[in-house]
Chain A
Amino acid sequence: MEVNTENTVRQFLYGGEPIAKQFPALHQSVYGKPLVYFDNAATTQKPFSVIHAISDYYNTINSNIHRGVHYLSQKATDAYEVSRKAVASFINARNSSEVIFTKGTTDGINLIADVYGAYALKEGDSVIISAMEHHSNIVPWQLMCDKHGAQLKVIPMNEDGELLMDEFANLLDERVKIVAVGYVSNTLGTINPVKEIIEMAHANGTPVLIDAAQAVQHLSIDVQDLDCDFLAFSGHKMYGPTGIGILYGKEEWLEKLPPYQGGGDMIKTVTFTGTEYNELPFKYEAGTPHIDGAISLKAAVDFINETGIGEIAAFENGLLHYVTSLVNEIPGIEIIGRAKAKTSALSLSVKGVHPYDVGVLLDKMGIAVRTGHHCTQPVMDFYCIPGTVRLSLAVYNTADEIDYFISSLKRAINMLV
């Protein structure tokens, strides 16, 4: 990946400020303090280009897609399909028919769990996930395992929050029918060795789903290079609108797996005796989709492409190192998740202090962080803590904001200890 070093250095020195100008919601006061937004792993703010794309759609071409012969419907259909192509190119899919619009990561994982479960899972089979999965990459598989009498197996991790790859190797056997792992942990920030996981699973004849919800906005993703069978992510965590997501699936899989939801758009012909399903990707897009979301997702992809994913990664890593080094100097704070490969998220545990208390006080100082279990209760159980305070970064954050965070954090701890 080529990175423009000069840009990164300039951006780091002067902060993400020029970029922040493109994000209107960042420029406001909360409780009389300037907003500092560090809850980006939950959702990012949106640039003007995305916001305008949504209003432009309703101002000019709002219409139902695919079935209309009239002008507006064709315009809307074109914009929807152009966006699909932009996403396909963003993740380097072979073909845009491998890109399915969904409601989000959760929806994509549920789709695959459902149809792949029906296709492949039998009693005595197993599904492998990891110890650091988000609930949305645990529960759909639990439901499928229960339904088909299969067993859920978990790749364990070490204290630093890194997966134990030897244990993974031991778990792989002929009864493992699918492996589903997160690319980046939303709680720990760990970047998992997904390429290695995919290689090992494939050597075992097992397909792999990658939950890329916390990866697409921070890392360059190439589905052909990864060779993953399925990959799911959300629009709203990558500067795009809420309620739209992407499921990538290799064509060979999507062709042979059964349909998910039935309805309009996913059919070719329907009679009361039977239905012929539509071709990809429409087979998996039943009903009127989130048209404005899909169209404005392209604006988010364009934003990332124009900023440069390499520059984004380098800049965010700089900020992460900076905040990590400052937090390390505060006594009584433990960083939860010390993996060697990390991105964008920093989870903290303050000795003797409930994360909720820290979150409330930071909020009153204008800082948005997340507290709690971050939808990863097994991770909290692993570390025997009720939750963490999590700061998560985006491209518009600045080193100044981190300085303010550190002084606010110290003030909050003084009030609580």
Chain B
Amino acid sequence: MTINEKQDELIEEFEYLTDWVDKYEQIIQIGKELPLINEEFKQDKFLIKGCQSKVWLYPEFKDGRIYFTADSDAIISKGLVSLIVRVLSGFPPEDIRDADLYFIDRIGLKEHLSPTRSNGLVSMVKQIKLYAIAYSSAMAGKNFE
């Protein structure tokens, strides 16, 4: 599956949920499928800044792809980060870097993307994109060697 196919799949899962509470119930469910970060990486340097709750995100670079694991002390934040991890984990850094995350708008979470919101979705996306940029630049640097 491509990043966009994964996004389309999520959009479909949310399509018939018109009540906001139901949408959040679904987000909580998706959070339960999150690949959990190894306890030893629950350190401050893997904390995403800008969330009211604690959200840890750990990138693992393997065979040209970045795999993300994460966790949070809040269940909804865990759901939110797992949406993004589900869409972006396991792809080459360039794909992650260039991904247009249209699913956030389509499932109705766009309001959460404003930088002044306190739920940190924008910080989660930013952090993942920064890891992707860092790995893609590091790889480009390697190619010059």
Residues of A at the B interface (CB closer than 8 Å) are 31-32, 353-354, 356-357, 360-361, 364-365, 371-372, 386-387, 411, 415-416
For the complex, give the distance between the alpha carbons of A353 and B21 in Å.
17
Given A372-B52, A386-B53, A415-B28, residue A357 in contact with residue B75 (CB < 8 A): yes
Once bound together, how far apart are the Cα atoms of A411 and B53, in whole Å? 21
Which residues on the A side are within 8 Å of B28 (C-beta)? 415-416
> B25 contacts which chain A residues (CB < 8 A)?
415
B77-133, CB < 8 A from A? 77, 118-119
Beyond A360-B119, A371-B52, whether A354 also contacts B24 by CB under 8 A is: no
Whether the pair B77, A31 counts as a contact (CB closer than 8 A) is no
- Given contacts A356-B52, A360-B119, A415-B28, A365 and B21 within 8 Å (CB-CB): yes
CB atoms of A356 and B19 under 8 A apart: no
Given known A353-B75, A386-B73, A416-B75, contact A361–B53 (CB-CB < 8 A): no
Chain B residue nearest to A412 in the complex (CB): B21
CB distance from A416 to the nearest CB of B (A): 5
Q: Is the CB of A354 within 8 A of B20?
A: no
**CA A32 – CA B25 in complex, angstroms?**
17
The answer to whether the Cβ of B70 comes within 8 Å of any Cβ in the partner chain is no
B77 touches A364 (CB 8 A): no
- Residues of chain B within 8 A (CB-CB) of A415 are 21, 24-25, 28
Could you say which of A364, A386, A411 has the most chain B C-beta atoms within 10 Å of its C-beta? Answer: A364
- Residues of chain B lying within 8 A (CB to CB) of residue A32: 19-20
Residues of A within 8 A of B139 (CB): none
Contact A361 B74 (CB under 8 A): no
Which B residues from 18 to 71 make CB contacts under 8 A with A?
19-21, 23-25, 28, 52-54
Tell me which residues across on chain A come within 8 A of B20, comparing CB atoms: 31-32, 364
The answer on a CB contact under 8 Å between B53 and A364 is no
Q: Shortest CB–CB separation between residue B75 and chain A, in angstroms?
A: 5
Q: Give the contacting residue for A361; candidates B24, B54, B77; CB below 8 A.
A: B24
B76 pairs with A357, CB closer than 8 A:
yes
Q: Which residues of chain A are within 8 angstroms of B23 by Cβ–Cβ distance?
A: 364
Shortest CB–CB separation between residue B137 and chain A, in angstroms?
34
Per CB-CB distance, the 5 closest pairs between chain A and chain B, nearest first, are A354-B74, A364-B20, A31-B20, A356-B74, A356-B53
A-B contact pairs, 26 of them (CB 8 A): A31-B20, A353-B75, A354-B73, A354-B75, A356-B52, A356-B53, A356-B74, A356-B76, A356-B77, A356-B119, A357-B53, A357-B75, A360-B24, A360-B76, A360-B119, A361-B21, A364-B20, A364-B21, A364-B24, A371-B52, A372-B52, A386-B53, A386-B73, A387-B52, A415-B25, A415-B28
Question: Closest B-chain residue to A363, C-beta based?
Answer: B20
By CB atoms of chain B within 10 A, which of A31, A360, A364 has the most? Answer: A360
How far, in Å, is A375 (CB) from chain B's closest CB? 13
Q: For the complex formed, measure the closest distance between the CB of A243 and the CB atoms of chain B, giving whole angstroms.
A: 19
In the assembled complex, which residues on chain A have CB atoms less than 8 Å from the CB atom of B118? Answer: 372
In whole angstroms, how far apart are the Cα atoms of A60 and B27 in the complex?
52
Shortest CB-to-CB span from B132 to chain A, Å, is 27
Q: Residue among B21, B25, B54 with the most chain A CB within 10 A?
A: B21
Complex interface: chain B residues within 8 A of A386 (CB): 53-54, 73
> Which residues from chain B contact A354 at a C-beta distance below 8 Å?
53, 73-75, 77
On chain A, the residues within 8 Å of B53 by CB distance are: 354, 356-357, 386
B77: chain A residues at CB < 8 Å are 354, 356-357
Most buried by A among B23, B28, B76, B118: B76
Residues in B with CB closer than 8 Å to A364 are: 20-21, 23-24
Minimal beta-carbon separation of B118 from chain A (angstroms): 8
> Smallest distance from the beta carbon of B50 to chain A beta carbons, Å?
13
Closest B residue to A361 by CB, please name it.
B24
Inter-chain contacts of A411 with B (CB < 8 A): 21
Q: A364-B21, A415-B21 are in contact. List 11 more A-B contacts (CB 8 A).
A: A32-B19, A32-B20, A354-B73, A354-B75, A354-B77, A356-B119, A357-B75, A361-B76, A371-B52, A387-B52, A415-B25
A415 to B28, CA, bound (A): 8
User: How far apart are A267's CB and chain B's nearest CB, in angstroms?
Assistant: 39
Please name all residues of chain B whose beta carbon is closer than 8 Å to the beta carbon of A356 when the two chains form the complex. Answer: 52-53, 74, 76-77, 119
A85 to chain B, nearest CB (A): 39
Residues of B within 8 A of A360 (CB): 24, 76, 119
The complex places the Cα of A180 from the Cα of B28 at a distance, in Å, of: 44
Name the residue of chain A whose CB is nearest to the CB of B19.
Answer: A32
Complex contacts, B21 vs chain A, CB 8 Å: 361, 364-365, 411, 415
| Complex alpha-carbon distance, A353 and B78, angstroms | 12
Give every chain A residue within 8 A of B75 (Cβ-Cβ).
353-354, 357, 416
